[in-house]
């Protein structure tokens, strides 16, 4: 995966949170006659209720678009391997995304549904399978997906899983396991009820090895009723893999459908094969 793809992976893992908005509640707990509940489920759900309120309540649950500007940095084996890259992001719930890189904004990644495209001076190509798989995984485990989809599913199991550290801050952890037996752990600040950390473990389909991705959120600022972390640090198997600094965020800004249009003009794989010959 090249440096831009590494930084792109970090950008596509956003979370937004808020302070003291109108209360919001989660869907009722799963039917205990259908699935056994851990004794700590009630505590965990109460924590998530408070977290959703901290996320902005209805403002967070109902926003449909988000635009971002900022700078992102990639790391290799825990050390920075780039001078950073400016980026602009345009996101529409649930599955449309566009990220532009460089000052000229001439490197673009577009995602629509389960498809991904790379646009450069060469033209438009289908995204490489491994990079697309990484993006789809991060979207699947994003806070938007967890709060809006996992928590609405009565088959999702929820339980309290103790305390941990997130960037030297103590957090209380809640684990969610969906019906596909996929798990995510959210570390919640007991003072603000804001999520400070998110982690999940998966088996890479390309090498069949287990890996763990983590994100730590900091530097929250209130934007349109939604408190947004303007600093996000990503980790892969314990090593820092990226860091993102946001300079501007807007919610519910109209985004033209054409921003997510892409038409393939060349085959990236054939081009790479020809270069090797």
Q: Helix (H, G, I), strand (E, B), or coil: what is residue 3?
A: helix
Q: What's the pLDDT score for residue 276? A: 54
- Can you give the pLDDT of all 277 residues of the chain as single tens digits? 455 555 555 555 554 443 344 445 554 544 444 445 557 899 999 999 999 999 899 999 999 999 999 999 988 776 777 778 999 999 999 999 999 999 999 999 999 999 999 999 999 999 999 999 999 999 999 999 999 999 999 999 999 999 999 988 999 999 999 999 999 999 999 999 999 999 999 998 888 899 999 999 999 999 999 989 999 999 999 999 999 999 999 999 999 999 999 999 999 776 665 555 5
What whole-number distance in Å separates Cα of residue 137 and Cα of residue 273?
27
Q: What's the pLDDT score for residue 24? A: 53
Q: What's the pLDDT score for residue 30? A: 44
Q: What's the pLDDT score for residue 33? A: 41
Asked whether residue 258 is assigned to any structural domain, the reply reads yes
Please give the tally of structural domains in the chain: 1
What whole-number distance in Å separates Cα of residue 61 and Cα of residue 68?
18
How many other C-beta atoms can be found within 10 angstroms of the C-beta atom of residue 239? 12
Quote the pTM value.
0.84
Asked whether residue 100 is assigned to any structural domain, the reply reads yes
CA distances, 255 to each of 90, 97, 99, 261 (Å): 7, 11, 13, 12
Asked whether residue 77 is assigned to any structural domain, the reply reads yes
Q: What's the pLDDT score for residue 4? A: 56
Asked whether residue 67 is assigned to any structural domain, the reply reads yes
Contact 219, 193 (CB under 8 A): no
* Burial (CB count <10 Å: 0-12, 13-18, 19+), residue 231: middle
Domain containing 76 equals: 3-156+218-276
- Residue with tokens 């050390």, as numbered in its chain: 79
Asked whether residue 235 is assigned to any structural domain, the reply reads yes
Asked whether residue 187 is assigned to any structural domain, the reply reads no
User: Looking at residue 62, which CATH number applies to its domain?
Assistant: 2.50.20
Task: Give the β-pairing of 195-203 and 123-126.
Answer: unpaired
What whole-number distance in Å separates Cα of residue 189 and Cα of residue 218?
11
Asked whether residue 22 is assigned to any structural domain, the reply reads yes
Instruction: Return all residues near 207 (Cβ < 8 A) that are at least 6 apart.
Output: none
Q: What's the pLDDT score for residue 91? A: 98
- Residue with tokens 């109209």, as numbered in its chain: 254
Q: What's the pLDDT score for residue 21? A: 43
Asked whether residue 165 is assigned to any structural domain, the reply reads no
**194 φψ region: left (φ > 0), alpha (ψ -120 to 50), beta (else):** beta
Q: What's the pLDDT score for residue 247? A: 97
Q: What's the pLDDT score for residue 234? A: 95
């Amino acid at each position: 995966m090249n440096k831009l793809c590494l930084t792109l992976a970090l950008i596509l893992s956003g979370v937004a949170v808020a302070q003291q908005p109108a209360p919001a509640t989660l869907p009722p707990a799963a039917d205990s006659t259908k699935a056994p509940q851990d004794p700590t489920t009630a505590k965990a759900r109460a924590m998530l209720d408070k977290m959703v309120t901290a996320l902005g309540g209805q403002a967070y649950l109902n926003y449909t678009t988000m635009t971002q500007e900022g700078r992102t940095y990639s790391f290799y084996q825990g050390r920075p391997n780039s001078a950073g890259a400016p980026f602009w992001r345009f996101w529409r719930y649930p599955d449309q995304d566009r990220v532009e890189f460089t000052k000229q904004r001439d490197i673009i990644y577009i995602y629509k549904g389960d498809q991904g495209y790379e646009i450069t001076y060469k033209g438009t190509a289908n995204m490489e399978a491994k990079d697309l798989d990484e993006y789809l995984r991060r979207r699947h485990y994003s806070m938007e997906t967890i709060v809006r989809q996992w928590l609405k599913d009565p088959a999702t199991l929820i339980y309290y899983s103790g305390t941990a550290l997130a960037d030297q801050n103590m957090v209380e952890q809640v684990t969610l396991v969906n019906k596909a037996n996929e798990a995510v752990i959210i570390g919640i600040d007991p003072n603000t009820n804001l999520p400070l950390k998110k982690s999940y473990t998966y088996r890479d389909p390309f090498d069949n090895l287990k890996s763990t991705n983590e994100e730590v959120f900091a530097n929250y600022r209130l934007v349109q009723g939604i408190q947004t972390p303007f600093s996000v640090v990503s980790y892969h198997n314990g090593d820092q893999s990226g860091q993102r600094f946001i300079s501007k965020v807007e919610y519910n800004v109209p985004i033209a459908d054409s921003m997510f249009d892409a038409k393939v003009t060349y085959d990236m794989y054939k081009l790479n094969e020809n270069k090797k010959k």
